Each structure stands twice: as C-alpha cells, then as structure tokens.
Amino acid sequence: MAVRTWRFGHGRRRRHGLQGKVALVTGAGSGIGKATALRFAREGAMVGVLSHTESEIRETAEEIVRAGGKAIPLVADVADDAQMKAAVTGLVETYGRLDIVFANAGINGMWAPIDELQPEEWDRTINTNLRGTYLTLHHAVPHLKRAGGSIVITASINGSRTFTSAGATAYSATKAAQVAMAQMLAVELAKHKIRVNVVCPGRIDTEIQDNTQRRNTEEAKVPADYPEGSIPLTGCKAGTSEEVAELVLFLASDRARHITGTPVWIDGGQSLVV
C-alpha cells in the first residue's frame, strides 16, 4: 500500500488555520504527541516538540522541517522544573510567543494490586503524569496570558469513565486528576481568554501499551468477556493517533472558541461498555 505524504502549506486546503500560532507539544516523539505536532505544523503552526528522548524528538522536528513546516526540538523531562522552564523559555525566545499547549506526555507506569504497588512506582507515575502536566502549564500560562490561547490535556477513559483496568490505580488517579485540573483551570483562566479542554482516549494504536509494566494484575482483575470486541464502533480495532490529533486540532483552534472545561472521550464507545 502506498504511503501518503504531506507537504506543509500545500495540498489539502487548511480548515483550522493555525498560521502564525506557536504551539508546544509534550510527548511529541511518538504516538498521539507526534501525530498532533505534525498536524499542527500542517495547519501552519510553529511547533516546539518536546520529549525527554533527544533522538526521537529531533526526528519529529526534522520531519516537520523537511516537509516545509517550522519546528524546534525541546529536550526535557516534564517532571523536572528547571528543564521545563528552560524548554518553554527557549520556545518563546525562538518564535516570540505561545498560543497553544498540548500537555500530552505521560506513562502507564506499573499496574499492580494496591498492596503490591510500591511507593517508588506510585511516585514515578504521579510525577510524570500529574506533576508533568502541572509544570508544563505552570511555565506556559504566563506566556498564554499575553494574548489568550488554548490548552489541551491528554487524560484517558481510565479514571474518568472506566475503572476496570486491573492494577491501574496510580495511572487512573492521575487521569482523573487531569480532568479535574482542566475544569478548574477553565474557570481560573477564562478571564485571560485561555480555554482549557481535555481529551480522553480509549485504546489507541500507540506504543504505550507495549511499555506498560504489569505485576500480578490477575489478582485485581474482574472477569469480563466481550466476544465481539470491547469497542462498539470497531470491534477489536483500536483508534489511531491521527484520529486523536484531529480532535486536538479542533479543540486548539478557533473553531472551538466557545468550548472550555470539557472532557471529550474518543474511544469508539469503549468506555460505555467496559
């Protein structure tokens, strides 16, 4: 099957118009973050692509630049205050402003029964997913306040609609907190014309499941059988990173100008049955 390629600024007519906007995308080295960074760039945004893995984030930036877009790689651990401050400062110094933040970086971490989940495993998930989101916004919001803007946070169906992923207590807790954070900040930042929304994906074809650590989750599991698959729209077929990127693009754009404090589930109906 032929691979479809894009030239930023050419081909399909832009529908959302991010020309002149500057966006920060965390976790942009792969999966949903990378797909969204590419999508933002195709719509004309200048993108700061951030990850703690230098090789993958440089690859994302180079892919955007080769296609005629604008991007800079930002290497930082989202849980590190000094690194995130430097990354956001570097992006604003390069492009002069900040309009859009996609706080997407996160891990599944260790899934285990609560009495077996170790404090350091709990802390690692909390630090990356929740502290990382906090630090991203803590350093970005002062720049967004200058002219308003849009924040989108990646949460999950776990912790917001579904509570059946065996052993995923730490992960689900961070995802529930991200939804609450988005809704709190939607009110707090509205006077600055900053919108805050949250996407809640179900099963998506990213590498995060391959990197999930599990220990004795059978002990915490509640048996359930879905003979035709657990995703009503597609059966067993996961959604794609590109589908999530389209949703993030809409929420980040002016077409969603009256939407804030809203969680949007993108899961093919998965969270309605599991």
User: Does 171 have pLDDT greater than 80?
Assistant: yes
* Between 251 and 9, residue with greater pLDDT: 251
The encoded tokens of residue 161 equal 């609609």
What's the mean pLDDT in 246-261?
Answer: 98
171 catalytic? Reply is: yes
- The alpha carbon of residue 177 and the mean position of all alpha carbons in its chain are separated, in whole angstroms, by 14
Which is more confident, 209 or 104? 104
Active-site hit among 95, 134, 171, 226: 171
Q: Answer yes or no: are the C-beta atoms of 230 and 271 closer than 8 Å.
A: no
Q: Would you place residue 206 in the very low, low, confident or very high pLDDT band (cuts 50, 70, 90)?
A: low
Average pLDDT score over the chain: 89
pLDDT higher than 80, residue 230: no
Whole-angstrom Cα distance, residue 131 to residue 78?
Answer: 8
pLDDT-derived band at 166 (thresholds 50, 70, 90) equals: confident
Question: What was the pLDDT predicted at 87?
Answer: 98
d(CA 21, CA 253): 10
Cβ 83 vs Cβ 5: under 8 Å: no
d(CA 152, CA 196) in angstroms, rounded, equals: 6
The predicted pLDDT at position 85 comes to 98
Cα–chain-centroid distance for residue 176? 14
Q: Report how far residue 189's alpha carbon sits from residue 181's, in angstroms, rounded to the nearest whole number.
A: 12
How far apart, in whole angstroms, are the C-alpha atoms of residue 270 and residue 5? 31
Kindly report, residue by residue over 47-64, the tens digit of the pLDDT.
999 999 999 999 999 999
Tell me the β-bridge partners of 23. 47, 100
Q: What local confidence, expressed as pLDDT, does residue 5 receive? A: 47
Query: What letter does residue 223 receive in the DSSP assignment?
Result: -
- Sorted by where each begins, the domain ranges of the chain are 22-272
Query: CA-to-CA distance for 192 and 185, rounded, in angstroms?
Result: 11
Residue 35 scores a pLDDT above 80? yes
The CATH superfamily assigned to 22-272 is NAD(P)-binding Rossmann-like Domain (3.40.50.720)
**Cβ–Cβ < 8 Å for 145, 194:** yes
- What number is the average pLDDT over the span 81-96? 98
Helix (H) or strand (E) holding 48: strand 46-51
Contact 32, 9 (CB under 8 A): no
The reported pLDDT for the residue numbered 13 is: 44
Residue 74 scores a pLDDT above 50? yes
